[in-house]
Chains A and B, each alone.
Chain A
Amino acid sequence: MFPPTKTAFALYQEEILNGHILSYKESLDSILKGIIAPQTITEFAGDSGSGKTQTCLQLCISVQLPKCCGGLQGEALYISTNNNFSSQRVRELSKNFVEHYKSLDGKTKSVDFNEDFILKHIHYIKVKDCSELIACIHLLGNYLSGKDVKLVVIDSVSFPIRLLDTKIRKLVLSRLLLELRNLASLYQFAVILTNDLTTRVNEGKSYVTPSFGDSFYHLVNSRVMFSKRNTYFHAQIVKSTFYERKEAIFFI
């Protein structure tokens, strides 16, 4: 069987219909427009405490909005490897979200939103190590059938992969991303991976860069770098399919 051929026009129509996910924070959305779309893999990289997990939780809520409001009217799947998920925090965020949503114009309200509705549509899987993560991705196809999941978050992908030997990391990551991409085409969901930073040494100088090097950077579609300044958070797109590099400041 040949892989199907599509014209660019057909792909364009598909991309417009698929839409993209926004975070419902104006400043962050100015750079996230069009980045987190179905079938793409986005990487959130940054130090601990720079806002990656909080943004992921926010996106798990906003994906449930109807398409006219910046969501995909779907559910979210949160795969946690580092225990950063906090259901209390999600409840807090959804409470603020619901209040904001109610203040919108009545014509846009097609779904009856409340906190329980939002929490029921965020699925949570906890994995302990790399073999569990790989098994989870293998069996994800069966898990997703019957559900309308539009966003899969893996927080964080670096934690289990670091436990592996350096020689097989590249291979494992490449196969993992391949599986995710195949599933994403089948079920039309977006993938977000969280990564942390590591130090590299070049000519006596050291610099800080996201983990797993250039081959991993090559395989993801976009990368957003998060950092925390004194009182605010900073996000910057360093790689994307749209060539408008921007930075944004946001608060949590």
Chain B
Amino acid sequence: MSRLSPNMHTFFNADIIELLNSKKIYTVVDFINSDARTLEKITRATFRVGNIGSTKPFNKNFFCSTQKLLRLLQVYFIKLRHYRNRDKKSIKTVIDMLLEGGLFTANIYEICGLPATGKTLFCLTLVKNVISNTKDNVYYLDTKRDFSAQQLKLMLNIDNKVRRTRGCNEQNFSKKINNRKDLITSLFEIKQSLIEGLKLRLIIIDSLPALYLQSSDHIENNSFLNNMVNILRYLTVEFNTVVVITNLITLWNEGSFKTQERYIENISCGKYWYNIPNVRLKFSKNSENKCQVTLLKTMKIPPDVRHCEVQLTKEGIKENKYG
């Protein structure tokens, strides 16, 4: 779903695009779905000029079916390239073993769990590992102001290998996201930076429910998720990045006090989102600072051992040495 931009057609100059954006028409699909009269009113253009939807440029770029075969072959080659390009971004060996090697590019990973089970700490540990072991950058899209630069610095300081923490901290870019429009706009900005040559390895979105819970309209929610997922898949495949998204598990009791049924764990953000991530890791707390990580979904045949135990410490997620 491409955003309207001046290089699409001579009709689209910066003023027209701003007018359309103010009426919530951001993408090509929004433009085509809008009524011709509405467009006339907004842009003050005549019907002839406004009748752009049927012209060839759009057809060429988006609706050409003869290129589909070529794309299929390209997808196959991309998959092989990504397998060879895998990067070990995970922390200690137990989670790496669970993920059978680490975090692979061209995939969307989801970290889910009840609140306060160590999801943000895991994200911070990932950031710390990427910036201290490689020279690549990390983008952290923070929706809840959970990102603590002080905690990250503490973790980098404790890790003896890292001497220049300032340099490392400049590899991590952070954005504060307030609403869905901010998130989509930021992803487009990241795409632009990647085209211009930014070396990005990891995009972390912490957390998705904070944006999803802002509206109860399922249609709006699903169209936002669809838009976001399309952009994320493009970014992961075209630019060899990994996307990690934090999600929430909530407890639901279908019965009442009389029936006393057991709580069911429900993964947030709806049924559409449930099938989107390639790999899903669930964090659950066993005791005060011990956590069990379970592999709920994987893109390959699931391994024999599907869970491992880790410790939550101020240095990050650590292997649980005490069984």
List residues of chain B with CB within 8 A of the CB of A178.
178-179, 210, 214
Any chain B CB within 8 A of the CB of A143? no
- Please tell me if the beta carbons of B178 and A201 are within 8 angstroms of each other in the complex: no
- Quick one: given A5-B175, A6-B174, A171-B213, are A16 and B115 in contact (CB under 8 Å)? no
What CA separation (Å) do A241 and B174 show in the bound complex?
16
What CA separation (Å) do A213 and B251 show in the bound complex?
8
Any chain B CB within 8 A of the CB of A218? yes
Any chain B CB within 8 A of the CB of A185? yes
- Quick one: given A202-B262, A221-B146, are A3 and B178 in contact (CB under 8 Å)? yes
Our pick among A203, A214, A215 for the contact of B262 (Cβ within 8 Å) is A203
- Please tell me if the beta carbons of A11 and B115 are within 8 angstroms of each other in the complex: no
User: How far does the Cβ of A151 sit from chain B's closest Cβ, in whole Å?
Assistant: 16
What CA separation (Å) do A40 and B148 show in the bound complex?
10
Closest Cβ neighbor of A216 among chain B residues: B115
Any chain A CB within 8 A of the CB of B149? yes
Which B141-177 residues have a C-beta within 8 angstroms of A?
A: 144-153, 166, 169-177
Which B253-268 residues have a C-beta within 8 angstroms of A?
A: 253, 257, 260, 262-263, 268
- Please tell me if the beta carbons of B148 and A171 are within 8 angstroms of each other in the complex: no
Our pick among B172, B176, B313, B314 for the contact of A8 (Cβ within 8 Å) is B172
What CA separation (Å) do A39 and B174 show in the bound complex?
15
Any chain A CB within 8 A of the CB of B186? yes
- Quick one: given A203-B262, A238-B116, are A214 and B249 in contact (CB under 8 Å)? yes
Our pick among A4, A175, A239 for the contact of B214 (Cβ within 8 Å) is A175
- Please tell me if the beta carbons of A201 and B260 are within 8 angstroms of each other in the complex: yes
What CA separation (Å) do A238 and B118 show in the bound complex?
12
- Please tell me if the beta carbons of B213 and A3 are within 8 angstroms of each other in the complex: no
List residues of chain B with CB within 8 A of the CB of A40.
145
What CA separation (Å) do A8 and B319 show in the bound complex?
26
- Please tell me if the beta carbons of A171 and B175 are within 8 angstroms of each other in the complex: no
Any chain B CB within 8 A of the CB of A144? no
Question: Residues on B close to A: CB < 8 A?
Answer: 114-116, 120-121, 140, 144-153, 166, 169-179, 182, 185-186, 189, 207, 209-210, 213-216, 248-251, 253, 257, 260, 262-263, 268, 288-289, 312-314
Other 17 A-B pairs with CB < 8 A, given A11-B174, A12-B153, A184-B145: A3-B186, A5-B173, A8-B149, A12-B149, A168-B216, A174-B210, A174-B213, A178-B179, A201-B253, A202-B262, A202-B263, A215-B250, A218-B248, A221-B144, A239-B116, A241-B148, A242-B151
